[in-house]
Amino acid sequence: MISKQEKELALQSLELARREGAQHCRICLSKNVTDMVDTLDGEVDKITHCLDRSLSISLFVDGRFGTFSTNRLDGQELQGFIREAVAMTRLLAEDPCRKLPAPERCCREATEGTEMQTYDESYESFDAESLRTLALAAVVDRTGYQGFKVVSEEGEASASEFDTITADSNGLMCRLRETNFDYSSQVTVETPDGRKYSGYWWESTPFLGKLDISGTGREAVRRAAAQIGSAPVAGGRYNMVVSSEMGFKLVSPVLNALGGYSLQQNNSFMAESLGKQVFSGGLTVIDDCWRKGESGSRLFDSEGVASRPDDIIRDGVVKKYFINTYIAGKMGLSPTIEEPVRARVMPYPEPGLDRDAILRKVGSGIYVTGFNGGNCNSATGDFSYGIEGFRFEDGVLREPVSGMLVTGNFLELWKHFLYAGDDARTCMSKLIPTLAFAEVDFNG
Amino acid sequence: MQPNTNLSETFALSSRELETLVAEALRCGGNWCDLYFENTTISNLMLRDGQVSSGGHHLDYGCGIRVLSGEKTGYAYSESTDMPSLLKAARAAGAIAEGRSAVAPAFGRSTVCVQKQDFYPMRQSWKGCDPAGFVPGLLSIESAIKAKDSRAIKVIAMLGWSLSEVMMYNSFGELCCDLRPTGSLSVSVIYCDGRSTQTKNASRSFRQGAEFFCKENIDAVVEEVTRGVDALFEARRPKGGQMSVVMGAGASGILLHEAMGHAFEADFNRKGQSIFAGRLGEQICRKGINIVDDATLPACRGSLNWDDEGVPGQKTYMVTDGVLTSYLHDRISAGWYGVEPTGNGRRESFRYNPIPRMRATYMENGSDGSLEDLIASVNRGIYVDEFSNGEVKIGEGDFTFYVRSGFLIEGGRLTMPVKDINIIGNGPQALADIRAVASDLVVDPGKWTCGKGQSVPVSCGIPSVLIDNLTVGGE
């Protein structure tokens, strides 16, 4: 964790910046320690120890603004760095919209850094040998498979501690301390005809005691084997169900388009949508930012502005743009938090639905378990993604599908939204459950 | 190995101290150690809303220490290069050998240890340059774009420059140093014709000093970002499905990068994961096709005097006359295959251990005529020339890349403009389906970055090619 000495040095940099001529300044000191053990085919393949420290400094000098960072935190080095940073900031054009957030908008509760309860005290006694034991315990039993063999199995166990302090010259002082324990497994299987299929699965939690990796490797194998024999089906218009692990691909572009930078640059397909019903009435997305004990929950954003649970989209109506202090000045809008902390798609039409229930409700179509590349045009919302998954009929998965593309426009796609499950994985930064849509174009 | 620049003063370490660190790292029995010292400065200036009102400067400094015990890797790094910190990192990396009985060394040794040529000499160093001198050039970009096309309503231009000082030392006693400059200019324009909004991007990125930010590069980016705007407004999605695709020279090299290059990286093959594993020596595409990965192109974004394991930069033929002749190796995979490393051991920074990565990947010229000849030979298909991101599934060989713009081909002629479509295919199948290769090779000058757990700058290129049976997304 950040030592008292490191914290003092960071705070001194605020004073240093002021002495060098900055009227205002914000600093963010981050310290991250990560240990990883990688396995390959049941043996330890790599051990890695990482320790990162970084100091980011945002300077407001004579109406000008610059951002700087360094990992050289020696006192004299830092003084020279800040002097040069102030000089470089003075080269830039004045921009009256560059300001620190008003103190009353800033977070005052994040004093210890552990308020979101995402710090596991047992991290401090978790040593490299324990991590190695954990990694080796998760190795897959390769025997007993019919119709394929496992040709490669990679696992990675990691334990990390993240500590950050954000402070500014208006008196802001926020801290966040988190731990994380992860295990991931990637498996390649081969069929007798030489075809290869890969599968991936992972678990992640702030608490060592909650990390259950007993089924991770098996799930990776299951996912690889499920794709055996996959092929395109006839192109056309299908219902589409998207797995809870992959739904973020369809939600993130919408959230990005609600962001101030895109809106201010006229590069958003969500322009002039605030307060309007632009999606299916079944769609509700909230910022569920204060979920204690889950990674990604935050009391403040990178400016130190306090987060709060809030509607983003309610019953298909856009309720919020994400406008930081700078963009608020540029666009003449009221500032908000700069981006959603933990976007959550709410269950629809009722709580409690899982994947299988949604497949039954939809009946037939294509169930997407993976997106392969693709992109979205941020100005128009047009998208095209490669997909893999399964055709389903009568609510039951049939043959595996690959080599197909899904193409459309996000405004149209979400108008055709049908259902949202209640099965989001809490280890992911966005809480996106199984999603279902009608009338989606597939090419194969 | 000869250092081309002595950086021992930058990192304040003597030869004796380097030897001490290696000895400490190998104390538990590892059989290879390398040290990677890096001092990187990154700066940028951004033009937005008609003024250069944001910019920054970032320092990254440290040393990565790697120990190999057989093929097993121990890795640790320190952001401080004082001896106590480095010794601590050396011991952490050396722990990979703890409890292992003696194993055979598995690293590849290069017989070529001298780099005679600097592939990216700086005429004007970024060090000490005055950023104020770049502001007029950035401002000129917006005015030039708006003068060319009144539909341009927003212009963002970012000039970025970096200089990495790298020093590598290994347990062979080899020391080498490298100065790696990069200059990049990226421009994004929003066009509006009163009815709809379109975006267009262009970039240039070279391993050059401050001479990079010159009129020639500025003009080239302005020209590219204002070219084809009418077509952008007219463009539609084609009817999707399987069809022939003519890929224009240059940026279409993303096909090679995604469909073949990654699958040729030797770590995936050593582990049996790649669809090309075990296929060395096989004819994988028609005769006459040569695919290379090259670190030696002057000032190219993907070039390297030395890779990040201290192996000299070189040109590697992966496919020669249609035959798979080499994978892309780091020292570990080279040792495993019993060949020389190919200089493809790369890393994002001292925080990462090196792994096999591409540099500048391209196909050499063919002899099937011109781009026009290729288009004329297609009855129904598409021509594509602008791309964004791509991706590949190594085991399956399935790749995808996103097309920003192109044209429908009907009856051997370009007709309707198309945009925002994804193309997918299978690597080995796409190679086999290359029907024609023109003689107009271009290595794309854009800002390409490859992600494989770590980001590294790369380049890609290709002559115009005609490929049958690719799947195109559409209505």
CA B142 – CA B153 distance, rounded (Å)? 10
Q: Return the percentage of chain B with pLDDT > 70, whole number.
A: 96
Distance from CA of B272 to the nearest CA of A (A): 6
A45-94 pLDDT, tens per residue? 999 999 999 999 999 999 999 999 999 998 788 999 999 999 999 999 99
Given a cut of 70, the residues of chain A with pLDDT beneath it are none
Query: Can you tell me which residue has the tokens 């394991």?
Result: B309
B194-225 pLDDT, tens per residue? 999 999 999 999 999 999 999 999 999 999 99
Query: Does residue B278 fall inside a structural domain?
Result: yes
pLDDT at residue number B3: 40
DSSP string, B116-169: ---SS--SS-STT--GGGGHHHHHHHHHHHHHH-TTEEEEEEEEEEEEEEEEEE
Report CA dihedral (B323, B325, B327, B332) to the nearest 10 degrees. Answer: 160
- Cβ contacts (< 8 Å) between A85 and chain B: which residues? 57
Q: Looking at chain B from residue 229 to 258, which residues have their Cβ under 8 Å from any Cβ of chain A?
A: 237, 240-241
pLDDT at residue number B237: 85
Whether B226 and B251 map to the same domain: the answer is: no
| Structure confidence at residue B170 as a pLDDT band (50, 70, 90) | very high
- Cβ contacts (< 8 Å) between A41 and chain B: which residues? 271
CB contact under 8 A, B59 and A91: no
Domain boundaries, position B163: 8-234
CB contact under 8 A, B154 and A265: yes
Pick B95's closest partner by Cβ from A128, A232, A267. A128
List C-alpha distances in Å: B80 to A32, A52, B37, B39. 15, 10, 10, 11
Query: B234, B264, B289: which is the final residue of a domain?
Result: B234
B272-289 pLDDT, tens per residue? 889 999 999 999 999 999
Whether B204 and B346 map to the same domain: the answer is: no
Whether B206 and B253 map to the same domain: the answer is: no
Whether B272 and B156 map to the same domain: the answer is: no
Q: Degrees (nearest 5) of the Cα angle B75, B79, B82?
A: 100
Check CB contact of B388 with chain A, cutoff 8 Å: yes
Task: For A373, name the nearest residue in chain B, comparing CA atoms only.
Answer: B391
pLDDT at B36 > cutoff 80 = yes
Query: Can you tell me which residue has the tokens 């700069």?
Result: A338
CB contact under 8 A, B424 and A375: no
pLDDT at residue number B180: 97
DSSP A98: -
- Cβ contacts (< 8 Å) between B78 and chain A: which residues? 51
According to CATH, what is the number of the domain A4-226? 3.30.2290.10
The answer, yes or no, to whether the previous bond of A349 is cis (omega within 30 of 0) is yes
Give the CA radius of gyration of chain A: 24
Query: Does residue B169 fall inside a structural domain?
Result: yes
Pick B395's closest partner by Cβ from A81, A197, A379. A197
Read off the pLDDT of each residue in B295-310 and give the average, rounded to a whole number. 97
Q: Are strands B455-462 and B442-443 parallel, antiparallel or unpaired?
A: antiparallel
* Residue B242 β-bridge partners: B471
Whether B247 and B230 map to the same domain: the answer is: no
* Residue A306 β-bridge partners: A300
Read off the pLDDT of each residue in B84-98 and give the average, rounded to a whole number. 94
* Residue B414 β-bridge partners: B409
Whether B176 and B258 map to the same domain: the answer is: no
Check CB contact of B136 with chain A, cutoff 8 Å: no
- Cβ contacts (< 8 Å) between B401 and chain A: which residues? 373
Residue-wise over A103-123: b if at least 16 C-beta within 10 A, else e?
Answer: eebbbeebeebbbbebbbeeb
Query: B207, B234, B261: which is the final residue of a domain?
Result: B234
Check CB contact of B76 with chain A, cutoff 8 Å: yes
Whether B227 and B310 map to the same domain: the answer is: no
Q: Looking at chain B from residue 25 to 64, which residues have their Cβ under 8 Å from any Cβ of chain A?
A: 43, 45, 48-49, 51-62
CB contact under 8 A, A443 and B131: no
**A4-20 and A75-90 are packed helices; what angle lies between their axes, rounded to 10 degrees?**
40
Check CB contact of B164 with chain A, cutoff 8 Å: no
- Cβ contacts (< 8 Å) between A64 and chain B: which residues? 53
CB contact under 8 A, B389 and A89: no
- Cβ contacts (< 8 Å) between A67 and chain B: which residues? 54-56
Residue whose C-alpha is closest to residue A186's, from A45, A390, A294: A45
Whether B206 and B270 map to the same domain: the answer is: no
> Using an 8 Å Cβ cutoff, are B442 and B249 in contact?
yes
| Structure confidence at residue B112 as a pLDDT band (50, 70, 90) | low
* Least confidently predicted of B97-111, B124-138, B161-175, B252-266: B97-111
Q: Return the residue in B41, B46, B59, B154 with the most chain A beta carbons within 10 A, the one to mutate for interface testing.
A: B59
- Which run of H or E residues covers position A372? strand A365-376
Task: For B471, name the nearest residue in chain A, comparing CA atoms only.
Answer: A444
- Which run of H or E residues covers position B428? helix B427-432
Distance from CA of B419 to the nearest CA of A (A): 10
Whether B213 and B272 map to the same domain: the answer is: no
CA B426 – CA A242 distance, rounded (Å)? 23
Q: Looking at chain B from residue 272 to 291, which residues have their Cβ under 8 Å from any Cβ of chain A?
A: 272-273, 275
Domain boundaries in chain A?
4-226, 236-443
- Cβ contacts (< 8 Å) between B190 and chain A: which residues? 265-267, 379
> How many contacts, defined by CB atoms under 8 Å, are there between A and B?
218
Helix intervals (H) in B265-388: 266-270, 331-337, 371-376
CB contact under 8 A, B395 and A403: no
pLDDT at residue number B117: 85
Q: What is the ipTM of this complex?
A: 0.91
Q: Which residues contact A387 (CB under 8 A, 6 or more apart)?
A: A366, A368, A370, A371, A372, A401, A402, A404, A405, A406, A442
CB contact under 8 A, A70 and B58: yes
- Cβ contacts (< 8 Å) between A232 and chain B: which residues? 471
pLDDT at residue number B2: 41
Whether B146 and B280 map to the same domain: the answer is: no
Query: B234, B265, B297: which is the final residue of a domain?
Result: B234
Check CB contact of B426 with chain A, cutoff 8 Å: yes
Query: Does residue B284 fall inside a structural domain?
Result: yes
Whether B359 and B430 map to the same domain: the answer is: yes
Domain count, chain B: 2
pLDDT at residue number A153: 94
Whether B196 and B320 map to the same domain: the answer is: no
